[in-house]
């Protein structure tokens, strides 16, 4: 006798503990994070891109990455996708007769593939050892191979398929664009933007880049407009540079001085969509295109980041370990009653 | 507990060299050879892993499915010590032993898969850990649980070597170790499901849901009982012992209760999220979903009636079906229903399959050696 009563007690105690734990932790949802105010990024404008791949070559050089071959003769660096050794790639969309650029049917278009530097990155949330981090100021998503355990959860988590692993090496690393953060201290910015001849890839503060993107999609197609190249300098920075003391935004930010490289060209036919403005809570790399983004390999993403949902679940269950300890307390209490030291001697008596 | 008189556990005895142990040895040797190539030349040298499928069967099968198969110890311990069902006591040691091997090898399996394994200490280093990461939670809980299970099992070893005082000391703290041994698996088995949440839309809607932690926890519990059914029937046949139906029949009823709750949650979630139409689109995913559902529903029909639950063959089959159903749900979430875009394909290489086979062989071999030499299974006059 007593078994049924104890059974019920056990059920009640563990149930009560679980409920207490659930109540003690406020069911707070972790909101999707937004970009830090000084976030740095890129604006890629597919209508300006000519597919020269200077950015691909510059990226390889800046990151000390080897060439990857996909042709028989092994003459040129010809990666077919980003990889552990290729962090930036221009991909081409082709349809039918390929008559005109930035045209969905019987046309072609270009798209840059590289890290989007999400406001709320899945890879950073996924990484168990903080090898993938987001800089609180610049928002750059950086990688630290000295912490990385090579679990590749970041590879699986990223909706853009960006972090890549070097499977051919016994000491393989994760490879991804870090916005050339290692060159920032010398006043250099992202190599891809530095070398882009048409300004299709532009470097700058994401806030400024977003304003520039909105300026562009409001343009009348074919109308002559001025487009910056290299690094986008906000109006405020130009003003400061013009001041008599010679000290201005340029010096404060530490970017190298370069002449104004802007030029005039007819505006392309833009889709009314700045990719990266809202996707997954926003990204620091923004994209413009004349052809549907999904056709160019950019996924259709909701405004909420998956990392927010994942961390909401994680912290509601384990926040401050309140729930685990509540359940452990209940289990210990019940087990203490049920696990009797003479248990063993009764075993001996048996048989 | 005093109400229940059970045969004390005793070593089964007998030879350790037979066709089963020799086959296990061969599989383990093959695994070792493949792993040597993997550690010398990288993951790409032996696996079909790629950036579209960064996780293969070493994670999806060896760790995610393997650890769920190893939930017998946890499920039975809950029954015996938390719900005070002392009549199941003889099942505790064999179930715990199987869990011990399942988890220890899953832990070892992770090391084979880690690309930068020498940095693994960062997982426990305060300056490196990331409490936001679901994998961090899984890794810490599993590591702790492996230690807890070895402590839970240690009296068996002490008994064998006559360390009575030591055993007494350990048994005083055993209630706390047992409590830990129920909480830790609840934590990481649910989190193994949560691992998929951050992958967002890359996981097919039939397997991507905020209910993942609940689904993985409930299924781990009934898979635990299913594995006990499977093992008990198999061990009884292999060692020519009486099948413990007097324990397995009522345990199967509890298993079906949890299964019923699980099916309601699983189907309810799919319907509430509006994902059910996806199950009627002709696709591999839809097929996998219905296969999985069939494995969950069939045991309700097969052993739903009390009389059928007394039939060892039906119990065994129901156990196998539930293990398969739970395995399919995990395989679909992690591999078949995972799609990252682009032209990526993954099918495990022979080498990958052999390593997985080697892991399971190591479990079987360890189970045989320990049950034959240590007091795990209830004493019984052998019918040799």
CATH number at residue B121: 1.20.1630.10
**What value does the mean pLDDT take over residues A286-308?**
95
> Which of helix, strand or coil describes residue A285?
strand
For chain B, positions 41-70, list CB contacts with chain A under 8 A.
41-45, 47, 49-52, 54-55
Distance from CA of A335 to the nearest CA of B (A): 5
Domain that holds residue B279: 53-340
Which helix (H) or strand (E) segment holds residue A113: the answer is strand A107-113
Please give, one letter per residue, the 3-state secondary structure of A74-93: CCCCCCCCCECCECCEEEEE
For residue A349, the chain B residues in CB contact (below 8 A) are 5
| Residue A22, pLDDT score | 47
For residue A130, the chain B residues in CB contact (below 8 A) are 122, 128-130
CA distance A114 to A109: 17
> Which of helix, strand or coil describes residue A247?
coil
- pLDDT of residue A240 exceeding 70, the answer is no
| Residue A349, pLDDT score | 36
**Smallest Cβ distance to A157: which of B117, B179, B198?**
B198
**What value does the mean pLDDT take over residues B51-73?**
94
Query: Are B42 and A348 in contact (CB < 8 Å)?
Result: no
* pLDDT band at A8; cut points 50, 70, 90: low
| Residue A329, pLDDT score | 87
B257 in contact with chain A, both atoms CB, cutoff 8 A: no
* pLDDT band at B381; cut points 50, 70, 90: low
| Residue A14, pLDDT score | 53
pLDDT in tens, B173-192: 888 998 999 999 999 999 99
B212-238 helix and B89-113 helix, angle to the nearest 10 degrees: 120
* pLDDT band at A251; cut points 50, 70, 90: very low
| Residue A252, pLDDT score | 47
A152 C-beta neighbours (distance < 10 Å), count: 27
**What value does the mean pLDDT take over residues A270-286?**
96
Contacts of A182 (CB under 8 A, 6+ apart): none
Which helix (H) or strand (E) segment holds residue A165: the answer is strand A164-165
| Chain B, nearest residue to A150 by Cα | B115
> Which of helix, strand or coil describes residue B333?
helix
In a domain, B224, yes or no: yes
How would you classify residue A281: left for phi > 0, otherwise alpha for psi between -120 and 50, otherwise beta? Answer: left
Degrees, nearest 5: CA angle B305-B83-B320: 45
Give the residue among B356, B319, B317 at the shortest CA–CA distance from B335: B356
Q: What is the rounded average pLDDT for all residues in chain B? A: 91
What is the total count of domains within chain B? 1
- pLDDT of residue B303 exceeding 70, the answer is yes
In a domain, B242, yes or no: yes
In a domain, B352, yes or no: no
Q: Are A119 and A35 spatial neighbours (Cβ–Cβ below 8 Å)? A: yes
Give the residue among A110, A146, A116, A164 at the shortest CA–CA distance from A277: A116
Largest CA distance in chain A: 100
Residue A207, CB half-sphere, CA atoms under 13 Å: how many?
A: 11
> Which of helix, strand or coil describes residue B50?
strand
Does domain A40-303 sit in CATH 3.40.50.150?
A: no
Residue A222 DSSP one-character state: T
- pLDDT of residue B1 exceeding 70, the answer is no
Contacts of A149 (CB under 8 A, 6+ apart): A128, A129, A131, B114, B115, B116, B117, B119, B120, B122, B123
- Bridge partners of A109, per DSSP, are A93
**Smallest Cβ distance to B197: which of A302, A306, A346?**
A306
CA distance A68 to B295: 46
- Bridge partners of A40, per DSSP, are A205
- pLDDT of residue A26 exceeding 70, the answer is no
Chains A, B: CB pairs < 8 Å: 241
């Amino acid at each position: 006798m007593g078994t049924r009563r104890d059974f019920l007690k056990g059920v009640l105690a563990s149930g009560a503990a679980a409920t207490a734990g659930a109540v003690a932790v406020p069911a707070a949802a972790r909101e999707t994070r937004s970009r830090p105010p000084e976030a740095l990024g890129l604006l890629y404008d597919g209508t300006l891109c000519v597919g020269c791949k200077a950015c691909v070559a510059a990226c390889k050089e800046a990151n000390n990455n080897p060439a990857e071959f996909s042709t028989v003769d092994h003459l040129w660096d010809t990666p077919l996708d980003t990889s552990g050794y290729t962090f930036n790639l221009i991909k081409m969309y082709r349809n039918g007769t390929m008559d005109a650029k930035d045209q969905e049917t019987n046309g072609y278009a270009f798209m840059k593939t590289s890290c989007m530097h999400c406001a709320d990155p899945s890879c950073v949330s996924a990484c168990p050892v903080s090898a993938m981090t987001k800089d609180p100021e610049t928002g750059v998503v950086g990688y630290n191979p000295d912490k990385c355990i090579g679990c590749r959860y970041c590879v699986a988590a990223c909706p853009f398929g960006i972090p890549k692993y070097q499977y051919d090496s016994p000491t393989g690393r994760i490879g991804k664009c870090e916005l050339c953060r290692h060159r920032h201290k010398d006043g250099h910015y992202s190599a891809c933007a530095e070398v882009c001849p048409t300004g299709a890839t532009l470097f700058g503060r994401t806030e400024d880049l977003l304003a520039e993107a909105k300026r562009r999609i409001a343009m009348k197609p074919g109308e002559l407009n001025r487009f910056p190249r290299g690094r986008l300098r906000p109006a405020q920075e130009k003003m400061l540079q013009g001041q008599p003391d010679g000290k201005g935004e340029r010096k404060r930010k530490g970017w190298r001085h370069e002449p104004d490289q802007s030029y005039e060209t007819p505006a392309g036919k833009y889709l009314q969509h700045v990719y990266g403005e809202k996707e997954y809570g926003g990204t620091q790399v923004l994209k413009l295109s004349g052809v549907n983004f999904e056709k160019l390999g950019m996924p259709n993403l909701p405004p909420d980041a998956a990392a927010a949902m994942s961390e909401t679940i994680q912290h509601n269950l384990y926040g401050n370990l309140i729930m685990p300890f509540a359940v452990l307390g209940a289990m210990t209490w019940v087990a203490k009653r049920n696990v009797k030291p003479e248990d063993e001697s009764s075993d001996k008596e048996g048989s | 507990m005093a109400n229940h008189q059970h045969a004390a556990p005793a070593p089964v005895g007998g030879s350790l060299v037979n066709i089963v142990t020799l086959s296990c040895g061969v599989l383990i040797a093959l695994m070792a050879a493949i792993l040597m190539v993997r550690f010398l030349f990288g993951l790409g040298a032996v696996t079909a892993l790629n950036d579209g499928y960064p996780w293969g069967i070493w994670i999806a099968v060896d760790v995610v499915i393997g650890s769920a198969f190893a939930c017998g110890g946890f499920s039975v311990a809950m029954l015996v010590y938390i719900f005070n069902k002392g009549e199941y006591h003889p099942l505790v040691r064999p179930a715990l032993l199987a869990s011990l091997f399942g988890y220890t090898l899953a832990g070892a399996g992770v090391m084979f898969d880690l690309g930068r394994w020498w940095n693994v200490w960062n997982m426990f280093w305060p300056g490196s850990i990331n409490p936001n990461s679901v994998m961090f939670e899984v890794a810490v809980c599993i590591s702790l649980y492996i230690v807890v299970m070895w402590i839970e099992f240690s009296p068996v070893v002490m008994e064998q070597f006559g360390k009575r005082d030591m055993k007494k000391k350990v048994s005083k703290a055993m209630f706390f170790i047992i409590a830990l041994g129920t909480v830790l698996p609840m934590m990481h088995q649910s989190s193994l499901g949560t691992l998929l949440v951050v992958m967002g839309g890359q996981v097919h809607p039939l397997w991507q849901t905020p209910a993942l932690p609940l689904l993985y926890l409930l299924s781990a519990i009934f898979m635990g009982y299913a594995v006990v059914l499977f093992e008990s029937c198999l061990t009884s046949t292999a060692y020519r012992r009486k099948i413990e139906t007097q324990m397995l029949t009522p345990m199967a009823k509890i298993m079906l209760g949890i299964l019923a709750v699980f099916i309601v949650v699983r189907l309810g979630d799919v319907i509430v999220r509006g994902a059910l139409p996806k199950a009627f689109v002709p696709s591999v995913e839809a097929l996998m979903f219905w296969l999985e559902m069939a494995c969950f529903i069939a045991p309700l029909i097969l052993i739903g009636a009390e009389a059928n639950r007394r039939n060892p063959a039906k119990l065994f089959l129901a156990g196998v079906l539930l293990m398969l159903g739970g395995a399919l749900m995990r395989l679909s979430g992690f591999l078949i229903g995972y799609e990252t875009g682009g032209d990526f394909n993954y099918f495990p290489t022979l080498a990958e399959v052999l390593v997985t086979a080697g892991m399971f062989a190591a479990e079987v071999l360890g189970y045989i050696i320990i049950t034959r030499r240590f007091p795990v299974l209830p004493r019984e006059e052998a019918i040799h």
